[in-house]
Chain A
Amino acid sequence: MRVNISVNGESMAADDVWEGESLLYVLRERLGLPGAKNACEQGECGSCTVYLDGTPVCACLVAAGQAEGREVITVEGLASGGELDEVQRSFVEAGAVQCGFCTPGLIVQAHSLIESTPGVPADAEIREALAGNLCRCTGYEKILDAVRLAAVRKHQP
């Protein structure tokens, strides 16, 4: 089947999509957007987190057909005009990135948390919001720093 999706503001179509195919597979293998990572294929690690109509989802758990006619934003779509998004910049500066494989999913999830929280979220809120995004390298402490930094920058520019 053909699936039409708006990805990062651009209308895209994928042909010969198999009925059981995931949104993640379409993004990575058909649309040339490997930013969202494939690490568990069953929604446990959060590495494939993307926005679907403004809600962060595990792209591995969304059937490609469910995304028909909807709007997807991936980590590739957060930076605009060569400028890193505040969350991306904060991850680099706080030292929240190590191997980088969980990073795209974490950035989308953190971006969503900051967008939906008035003010700087409390540590418990951050830990809860990011609990579905596994990181094996950093021990999470610097990721928390990055989220706080990005939230402060956003809300107290």
Chain B
Amino acid sequence: MTTVAAPSAGTALDRVDGPEKVTGRARYAYENVPADLAYAVVVQATVSRGEVRAVDADSVLQLPGMIATIWHENAPRLAPVEDAELTVLQSPRVAYRGQVVAVVVAETLESATEAARLLRVDYRPEPHDVELRPDHPGMYRPDHVNPNYATDSELGDPDTALAFASVVVDATYTTPAQHHNPIEPHATVALWDADGLTLYDATQSTSGVRATIAPLFALPPESVRVISPYVGGGFGGKGAPHAQVVLAALAAKQVGRPVKLAATRRQMFAVTGYRTPTVQRVRLGADEDGKLSAIVHEAFEQTATIKEFAEQTTVVTRMMYAAPHRRTSHRLVRLDVPVPTWMRAPGETPGMFALESAMDELAVACGIDPVELRVRNEPTIDPERGLPFSSRNLVACLRGGAERFGWAGRDPEPGVRRRGRQLIGTGVASSTYPVYRMPSQASARAEPGGGFTVRIAAADIGTGARTVLTQIAADALRVPPAQVRMEVGDSALPRASVAGGSSGTASWGTAVLRACEGLMDALHRRAGDVPPGGLEASADTAEELRSQRPLSRHAYGAQFAEVGVDLDTGEVRVLRLLGAFAAGRIINPKTARSQLIGGMTMGLSMALLEESVMDLEFGDYLNRDLAQYHVAACADVRDVDAFWIEEEDPDLNPMGSKGIGEIGIVGTAAAIANAVYHATGIRVRDLPIRLDRLIGGGI
């Protein structure tokens, strides 16, 4: 206890679970093998709306190795809960094509797969409606947007301001449905015993899955244990449980054996969520110097008939730039489609594509450099909330990024730089993400044999949470990180908030730090003596978070892109991508850089490749694998780099950190689209920037 180590926070500690992951020893959800295991495979609806009339369960039960077919007539009853995505197999209604209408359970995966293929389901189909249109008569105003923001906002008189503005941009942008596609498919192993239900699940929140699943089976939360030490990526898709978690638990209950259930890659396009497509109209009014007088941002989005998810697409516009007259709104339509959900920076990602494209159009219209235009419209306080910013270094990111990128002296003329077969252009966009912090608990324990164990039910979905929390604990305990054993990913550990909203380090770090401080106090009182049974302290941050003063807290960034567009084929290559970020104190530069670059690359992928195409006739997403839903591969990425500026912000949390998991994707697509405009003179307002949109645009 007398050791005093150099601080670990701020150093590039190697990922503490790296060795498990590079050797194949890390056990993911599907790789748990309880005794007497059975395999479950889902059967998906082949109509987009209607009712299941009959399931010919008997004929497949004759197949070798079959254990059970479960559908709405014989499924165990679930307690009614609000979330209809989870009350699976309880009614004959089909709400979208691909919804699970039955589960087959067999001794082997191949038997179950074969039976699922052969199972005959008869439907009474009804006409479906799956097309998102801004003028859809079913458009309505939701009560709030995710997670709990006002649906609309208005200040001043934006219509009059637009009518009198010297320069007006009025443009409509669209973003397609996008699927998370973490490399690990969603998977659950469910096991019932005398203690209740155990779920080995791929999740961003073991505490959340426990709290959500327990009521469905009329169990107290302590009778459900969710174990998830390693998760193969989530990006929001594993933020809340989807049908497969309930189906695994329900099937295991029905057959009285442990059951394994994984969504296949193809099934994931219907049953594990996606980012809603958006149609966004942005109107900007400005004077000739580019000073904004009015900002209007309206979003039109879809949700499912069985569950509302309202992506907060225009909320970011409420704080981004100064303007006296402003309005934002969200309208939704319930369609016969799968249930959308959180996907990396929900709201900011589609919203900033539209806003930052429109800002570029305004820069062109005013003849002002796009970096300078943004600097001119920098607010001094949060424009709609009227609150001071805890820190806001957007201008430093724009200036610092411009310098490192070599932006100075850029010729704004579009379509004039040619290198071989390529037209070359550069673009910029701002980036931002809110600072969230959620209540969590943690415990810290001094072990009698030396060393410390720190426990929290946090999830490390690849972010590096396990590593960064180890560093925070080590510093609080004043020992090297090697003396700290960090346990995460189990609902039996002290309750933690979801790995979402880029809030993990802030939320869990505060709890870990407070538990370690409590332990240090206890040790101090004992003059450093650790009793034979060890010494433990715990913390709950609920009270601390309630006393946080109201401020506008956000991370900021600026993204710069250089593209080359092939004159003959329209192929866009991102030659360079540079992100400058201001995100408070960076606790581990190695894991942080990877998060930022990874986010930017997902943004590149969104800009050029990602698009889930709705089949209007059959009513579901057509491209249901990685051969047709393209995500950026190594060869698509050339030169992506990120850096950050030093930022001290005492009004965040004891670590002084802002979240970095999501900001990297925000604005990237706009920076690339703006660069494509600069290269070609063609403004692509609909993502992704496909070849046909450039060839058709007259490249």
Which residues of A are in contact with B by a Cβ distance under 8 Å? 18, 20-21, 25, 28-29, 33-42, 44-45, 47, 74-76, 78-79, 84, 88-89, 91-93, 95, 97-104, 107, 126-128, 130-144
Contacts and interface: CB of A to CB of B under 8 A. Distances in A.
Given A44-B625, A92-B22, A139-B594, A99 B633 contact: no
Contacts of B23: 35, 75-76, 78-79, 84, 88
A95 B642 CA distance: 14
Contacts of B634: 126-127, 130-131, 133, 135, 140, 143-144
A54 to B, nearest CB: 19
Contact of A97 (B18, B264, B637, B640): B18
B157 to A, nearest CB: 44
Given A39-B265, A140-B601, 18 more contacts: A18-B110, A34-B27, A38-B185, A39-B184, A40-B265, A42-B627, A75-B22, A75-B23, A76-B23, A95-B12, A95-B594, A101-B232, A127-B634, A136-B233, A136-B598, A137-B462, A138-B594, A139-B637
Interface residues of B, number: 59
Contact of A20 (B15, B28, B110, B601): B110
Given A33-B24, A45-B626, A139-B601, A92 B633 contact: no
Given A103-B22, A104-B24, A98 B626 contact: no
B260 to A, nearest CB: 9
26 contacts: A35-B25, A37-B232, A38-B30, A38-B185, A39-B265, A40-B626, A92-B19, A93-B14, A97-B15, A98-B462, A98-B464, A98-B595, A99-B232, A101-B182, A101-B232, A104-B22, A128-B635, A130-B634, A134-B183, A134-B631, A136-B182, A138-B594, A139-B599, A139-B601, A139-B640, A142-B594
Which of A21, A127, A141 is most buried by chain B, counting CB atoms within 10 A of its CB? A141
Nearest to B23: A79
Nearest to B12: A95
B85 interface: no
Contacts of B230: 99-100
Contacts of B108: 18
Contacts of A20: 110
B332 to A, nearest CB: 28
Contacts of A88: 19, 22-23
B612 interface: no
A74 B602 CA distance: 29
Looking at A84, A101, A144, which has the most chain B CB atoms within 10 Å of its CB? A101
Interface string B272-314: 0000000000000000000000000000000000000000000
A101 B626 contact: no
Nearest to A102: B183
Contacts of B461: 99
B28 A91 contact: no
Given A74-B24, A98-B463, A103-B21, A140 B637 contact: yes
